[in-house]
Amino acid sequence: MSVRLKLTGTSLAAGLLGLAIAAPSFAAEDLKQVMERRGLTEKNILAAAKTYTPTGGRDEFLAFSSGGQSGHVLVYGIPSMRILKYIGVFTPEPWQGYGFDDESKAVLAQGRIMGKDITFGDTHHPALSETKGDSDGRYLFINDKANPRLAVIDLHDFETKQIVVNPLFRSEHGGAFVTQDTDYIMEATQYAAPYGDEFVPLEEFNEKYRGGLTYWRFNNEKGRIEPENSFTFELPPYSQDLSDAGKGPSDGWGFTNSFCTERYVGGTMRGRPPFEAGCSAKDTDFLHVTNWKKAAELVAAGKIGKEVNGMKLISMEEAIANDLLFLIPEPKSPHGVDVTPDGKMLVISGKLDSHAWVYSFDKIMKAIADKKFEGKDPYGISIIPIKEVLHTSVEVGLGPLHSQFDSKKCVVYTSIYVDSMVTKWDYCEGKVLDQLPVHYNIGHLMTMEGDTVSPQGKYLVALNKLAIDRFNPVGPLHPQNHQLIDISGDKMELLYDMPVPLGEPHYVTAIRADKLKPAVRYKSGWNSRTDTKSEWKTRAGREKIVRDGNRVHVYGTVIRSHITPEIIEVTEGDNVSIHLTNLERAQDETHGFAMYGQNVQLSIEPGKTASASFVADKAGVYPYYCTEFCSALHLEMQGYLLVQPKGYKASGVEAVAGTTYTEADYNKQVETNIATQDVINSVVGFITARNFKDFPPVVALVEDATDQLGFADEAKAKSEAAAGKKDWNNAMLWANQWWQYQVKTADMGLRAKTYLEEHGAVEVKK
Ligand code: K7E
Ligand code: CUA
């Protein structure tokens, strides 16, 4: 009995207290000694103080990083650089049940290509939704370069809701970039290909291969992309690259880089020089300038655009005739184009040029209005001369790639790949302000909300392509290295190295954490992927197994600490779907559901309904259990799927447990239960004497505790009924179940009490 009572409040608290008192009493090291022992400098200590986040502390910003080839998104905090979540996007993610429950399988199935499941992604550019050009914390988008796809993640629950496949492209790179009110999401091709599945020989590259730029329509109310209201610009077979949407004065326009405007097709084994030579022979490539707002109007009015593979395609002739598409030369093999926070300038850098170039949007508009063109490309698109639009160019270093902005006016940071450094410069005056070496080949860099109208300054993250010798060696495949840099002063200062071991995270975007309002639970019986009530929602006490021929639906529930039903009997060959609703409301009370041999693993967060479907094609015994350590009796959160052979007849004999009980066992259990009830009463007294209703997490705990106590009453009644019949075995077992519910009630009550104590609840007068 004393072992059991350990679970109750007083002994738990005493245990914790005892630990603190019993702490070893050898002399603590002081800061100086630690610095000496670990070889730390004062600068290191300062950097540590700027990033260290004490226990329970929160980060000021959350970063959403591409997970590269993993097809996931990583979420980490800044400045602590602690990883908080991997969001499954294009790839199954077992912990979240992503790609294992029926609901998320339906999302991944949207990403099939030519009928094939594509279970990886080459994610490159995450983008946060914006309102008036400012990050609003509602949605996140990310692209897949290898298989031209875009995904929508809802930041209400950090789950992937939708995947769209570009029906025209065969690869893409210039996505995801949002317009200033997230009306459209840009996605541009990378490697030109024919629009369609048919074979076209490379000899017809110039005529039949095409690039393109899709503006995907985003429905901000529904939080979904609408393919039927989206459109694509047909573009020449140049390798389109990154894009950015205009904002403020340049809203309505989009900008897309390109490389390999040489239209070289390679073929080293045919005796031709390689792609890399042929694709970088010219001094300039082209920035594509598109008027998406006017294009959207003309498409909506049915004046332009023809449907190809279910996508409205604006031909180059239509774009030219309606002044929707222009080209501006840009030096050389460009990679990044970034619109300044005020929307007035574009910063462009070419990988093979040591300058960053600043184009003026006003000047672009003026050149178009005055028809100041230097000719046309082979497809008849007008070319605006650089000199007409150039604001300034600055020598920033060898191999400039990407740029991000500071909260300080006119200040921009550019990643310098070959020189492995970050250059801070002034794009208004055209001068370099500071340079900081980073560890190795930097790709993207990122400042806080640095691609919006209101960059937050403070920190910069350098995304280095190679980690080389930065971390403990872990074999030939190294992690990537995100370096945190303090940009609050005049001089940039390196603070921290963070290994990213998931894939090549090309780009990251960050948002002020206080802009995010994530939920802690779902509405009861929720399909989190469609964001509607699940048709399989099941309430407590309504669990059932419904059979229609060989189709079996199990309507089940999970709650601390049991899965209902605990026994599922089906026949060999049955099609089985198990639908489980988590009845909990308390935050973080997630249950899992895993089963032997059926590739079943669900994550069922409070309120969620998740389903697992499979064919029970082999007779046998399949244990299942909860995969989250959810309570003291988590290990007992278990059950059996019994797949009976065809024609099986039950023996009719009751299953007999290994142990039987006496009246004395029953009485002892009841005694324990009465003692436990005293603990519950004292906790309830503490809670109800305080303003607990002002604390939503406590209200949820109290609701769950009340449910559990209700179950305890039911078990108590059953136990007393059995005792009345002198059925001591069932009396004892039901008394034990009554106690199980009490323990769960007490556990939640204590958590609520602790929360109230830690959050300054006050006593209320009765
Ligand atoms: Cu690797 Cu933006 Cu895809 Cu540059 S990208 S580095
Ligand atoms: Cu539920 Cu363990």
The DSSP string of 560-594 is: TTEEE-SEEEEETTEEEEEEEEE---STT--EEEE
Q: What is the pLDDT of residue 156?
A: 97
Q: Is 351 in the pocket of ligand 1 (CB under 6 A)?
A: no
Sheet holding 83-88, edge to edge: 83-88, 72-78, 61-66, 508-512
- Classify residue 535 as exposed, middle or buried by CB count within 10 Å of its CB (0-12, 13-18, 19+): exposed
Residues with CB under 6 A from ligand 2: 591, 626, 628-630, 634, 637
**Cα dist from 738 to 177, 562, 576, 743, whole Å:** 56, 13, 32, 9
Which 3 state secondary structure label does DSSP give 470? coil
Which atom of ligand 1 is found nearest the CA of 507? Answer: 2
Q: Give the Cα separation of 727 and 609 in Å (integer).
A: 38
State the distance from the centre of ligand 1 to the C-alpha of 443, rounded, in angstroms: 6
Q: Which atom of ligand 2 is nearest to the CA of 626?
A: 2
| Percent of the chain scoring above 70 in pLDDT | 96
Please provide residue 560's backbone torsions phi and psi, each rounded to the nearest 5 degrees: -50, 125
**Integer angstrom CA distances of residue 291 from 132, 240, 246, 297, 431:** 18, 16, 10, 10, 31
Ligand nearest, relative to CA of residue 557: 2
Structure confidence at residue 743 (pLDDT): 87
Euclidean distance between CA atoms 554 and 567, whole angstroms: 11
CA of 444 to the centre of ligand 1 (A): 6
Q: Which of 123, 401, 446 to mutate to test the pocket of ligand 1 (most atoms within 8 A of CB)?
A: 401
Residues of the chain with pLDDT under 50: 1-22
Helix 663-688 vs helix 9-21: angle between axes, to the nearest 10 degrees? 70
**Which ligand is the nearest neighbour of the Cα of 176?**
1
**Nearest atom, ligand 1, residue 463 CA:** 6
Centre of ligand 2 to C-alpha 562, Å, is 7
Q: Pick from 574, 562, 565: which is nearest to 616 by CA?
A: 574
End-to-end CA distance of the chain: 36
Residue 178: strand pairing partners: 185
Ligand 1 atom 5, closest CA? 506
User: Which atom of ligand 1 has the smallest separation from the CA of 506?
Assistant: 1
**How many whole angstroms from 433 Cα to the centroid of ligand 1?**
25
Identify which ligand lies nearest to the alpha carbon of 629: 2
Q: Tell me which residue of 182, 172, 180, 119 sits closest to 150, measured CA to CA.
A: 172
Closest residue (by CA) to atom 1 of ligand 2?
A: 591
In this structure, what DSSP letter does residue 202 have?
Answer: G
| Burial annotation 31-69 (CB, 10 A radius, 16+ → b, else e) | eeeeeeeeeeeeeeeebeeebeeeeeeebbbbbbbbbbb
CB 347 within 8 A of CB 358: yes
Burial of residue 333 (CB within 10 Å: 0-12, 13-18, 19+) is buried
Write the CA distances from 40 to 28, 35, 36, 215, 447, integer angstroms: 18, 5, 7, 51, 27
> Which atom number of ligand 1 is nearest to the Cα of residue 124?
3
Alpha-carbon dihedral of residues 534, 535, 536, 537, nearest 10 degrees?
60
Full DSSP string of 612-650: EEEEE-S-EEEEEE--S--STTGGG-EEEEEEEPTT---
Does 210 contact ligand 1 (Cβ within 6 A)?
A: no
HSE on the CB side for 678, CA within 13 Å?
A: 7
Which tokens belong to 532? Answer: 């509607």
Give strand pairing partners of 287.
328
Among all bound ligands, the one having the nearest atom to the CA of 591 is: 2
Looking at residue 9, what is its pLDDT? Answer: 41
Judge contact between 247 and 240, C-beta under 8 A: no
* CA pair distance 400, 87, nearest whole angstrom: 30
Report the pLDDT value the prediction gives residue 254, as an integer from 0 to 100: 98
Q: Tell me, using a 6 A CB cutoff, whether residue 507 lines ligand 1.
A: yes
* Whether pTM exceeds 0.85: yes
* β-strand partners of 521: none
Q: Could you tell me the distance, in angstroms and rounded to a whole number, from the CA of residue 412 to the centre of ligand 1?
A: 18
Protein residue with its CA nearest to atom 2 in ligand 1:
506
The Cα–Cα gap between 459 and 413 comes to 11
Cβ contact 52:31 at 8 Å: no
173 lines ligand 1 (CB under 6 A): yes
401 lines ligand 1 (CB under 6 A): yes
Please name which of 598, 625, 601, 602 lies closest in space to residue 614, comparing C-alpha atoms. Answer: 598
Q: Which ligand neighbours the alpha carbon of 464 most closely?
A: 1
Residue 631 Cα to ligand 2 middle (Å):
6
- Tokens representing 213 are 């730029």
Q: Rounded distance, CA 172 to CA 720, Å?
A: 68
Query: How many A from CA of 142 to the centre of ligand 1?
Result: 13
Q: Which atom of ligand 2 is nearest to the CA of 561?
A: 1
